[in-house]
A and B are shown apart, each in its own frame.
Chain A
Amino acid sequence: MTTRGRLVRTLAILTLVLCAAVAVALVTGRQHIDYGNLLSDPFAATLFFRLRLPRVLMGMLIGASLSLSGAALQALFRNPLAEPYTLGVSGGGALGASIAIALGWSARLLGVPLVFLASFAGAMASVLLVKTIAQSGAIVLPGTLLLSGVVVNLVATAAVVAIQYVADPASALRILRWIIGSLDVVGLEPIRHMFFLLAPAWLALLALSRQLHLLAIDEDTAATLGVNVARCEAAVHVLCSFIVGVTVATGGAIGFVGLVVPHLVRLMFGEDLRIVLPGSLLLGAAFLVLADALARTVLPTSELPVGAVTGLLGGPVFLWLLRRKQQYSMM
């Protein structure tokens, strides 16, 4: 089958998976929604349009963003264990957002909330710091990359906790939510804002999928096959930092989505990044929507944060991948 044919088949299958996940998430929840009287029953309408639907859409946006970024970062660093969380990008973003919240920055710059920009700056600083530490000459050392990413994440999380302690109680509560990650949202307005910020960055990242495919094979390969490696790396750094920064500023540092989903897409549809990137976008949206549906209903009396569910699901997968990688002696 041609690459185009494989892409069309992948997108068709994963679109169906996403539709099914959204349908399941919309009918799942502590409160029953009477869909037969959705337009005539004000309570059902409020529940659906103000809470359930925005939450599902938020899950789609964040899941798609984290998975797409994870797939791109894995290709860029040629490391199957790279993702926003393990590279410290999420931690840096959470720290940036926490500083902005603690300082009471509620203004917007060119329509973009300052919290988003602070989160973007934190994410960008983290990825550059981690890469600088891991770089030895022209080579990025895979083990050092992950180790420095984990340490940057730990330091950023510790700093967030410290900020939370010195911040006023209202800000402290908002910061606490970011540490684990949550999809709480009211109304469709925040979703619209996020979509218009994220969609152009998604498209720009997808437009780099061929270059990322060649980079994922080998950096020298990419350079001798016509990829401007420095420009592509810079673009992926900026785009992933922006995407992760916006999602972290909204939903917190939700871990392991960016790790697990690209690998699921690879297992099902092969290694071609021109398929893995759009596939991760769709499957990531479905994955987080389902994880959130589980988080909302798994306990009889209260909700789990979605970050806890993705961590519980993603952690074992991470360890399995680590084991598999060691067996191939490729680290």
Chain B
Amino acid sequence: MTPLLEARQLTYAYPRGPVAIRGVGFTVEPASMTAIIGANGSGKSTLVRMLAGLLQPAAGQVLLSGIALDRWEPRARARQIAYMPQVTTTAFPFRVADIVLSGRAPFVARFHFDSRHDRDRAMEALQSTGAAHLADRNFAALSGGERQMVILARALAQEPRLLLLDEPSASLDLKHRAELMRTLARLREQRGLSVVMITHDLQLTGSLFDRILALRCGEIAAQGAPDEVLRSELLADIYGEPNVRARRMGNQTLVWIDA
């Protein structure tokens, strides 16, 4: 069976910079949840930006449903993959509702305007992230966590098959972090959504993800099921922190620093 997404031996180097990603390969199956972990600067965001089509790999390729990503028509690709960056800032005071509605752009025919159906989908997405009350607010005036919820709503309004998230929970409080994970689990169940998410929250990865991809210096240090990757010696090696400890407790993994 063709995987939803396949990364084949991806390599990327920034102009006049060191190699950020070297020979990374993995697959994403439909209705799966994959976490990408690794120390700061290990190439996580660069990898996800390549999967989103925002960076062209220097070598290797990304296949979406078996077709090279750059051969997809951009709007058709946008109906398959949604991307949520780490931070979004706007230079103009856009209304939150307009930002979320922009997620429907790939569905609106050329020289047409968004329909009632598009507005309903956008509002549903905003409600699903618990941010409906922000609809008429100025996006630029929101807190970091509120912006994350709005951008997640825009990504959900795209109704994608694959959601790429770059540290979505970094600015979220406990309540909204829990809401985010419930929403992702529900969409996976109902729509068969696949998620690839960068996170530093290792507790989260242990309980909710099927698969973990650990990066170290732009290369895959380990990949597999959470209980295969979340091991003390492996995490110590990935993060360069000898005192990190991990212990499996039921279907949860406890990770802590042994000071």
Contacts and interface: CB of A to CB of B under 8 A. Distances in A.
B106 A225 contact: yes
A224 B52 contact: yes
B140 A330 contact: yes
Nearest to A266: B92
A196 interface: no
A2 B98 contact: no
How large, as a class, is the contact surface on chain A? 20 to 34
Interface in A125-163: 137, 142
B74 A228 contact: yes
A271 B103 contact: no
A214 B105 contact: yes
Interface stretch (B79-87, B171-179, B208-216): B79-87
Contacts of B89: 218, 330
B159 to A, nearest CB: 13
Contacts of B83: 220, 224
A280 B120 CA distance: 29
A48 to B, nearest CB: 39
Contacts of A2: 113-114, 116, 119
B140 A224 contact: no
B53 A223 contact: yes
How large, as a class, is the contact surface on chain B? 35 or more
A262 to B, nearest CB: 10
Given A137-B14, A271-B93, A225 B102 contact: yes
B8 interface: no
A27 to B, nearest CB: 38
Given A4-B113, A220-B85, A225 B78 contact: yes
Contacts of A225: 78, 102-103, 105-106, 158
Contact of A3 (B53, B82, B113): B113
Nearest to A75: B92
Given A213-B102, A217-B102, 10 more contacts: A2-B116, A210-B110, A214-B102, A216-B90, A216-B94, A217-B94, A224-B54, A225-B105, A225-B158, A271-B92
Interface of A: 2-4, 7, 78-80, 137, 142, 207, 210, 213-214, 216-218, 220-221, 223-228, 266, 270-272, 274, 328, 330
Interface of B: 14-15, 52-54, 74-78, 81-83, 85, 88-95, 98-99, 102-103, 105-106, 108, 110-111, 113-114, 116, 119, 140, 154, 158
27 contacts: A3-B113, A3-B114, A4-B113, A78-B91, A80-B92, A137-B15, A207-B111, A216-B94, A217-B92, A217-B99, A220-B52, A220-B83, A220-B85, A221-B154, A223-B53, A223-B74, A224-B53, A224-B81, A224-B83, A225-B102, A225-B158, A226-B74, A226-B76, A226-B77, A226-B78, A271-B98, A328-B140
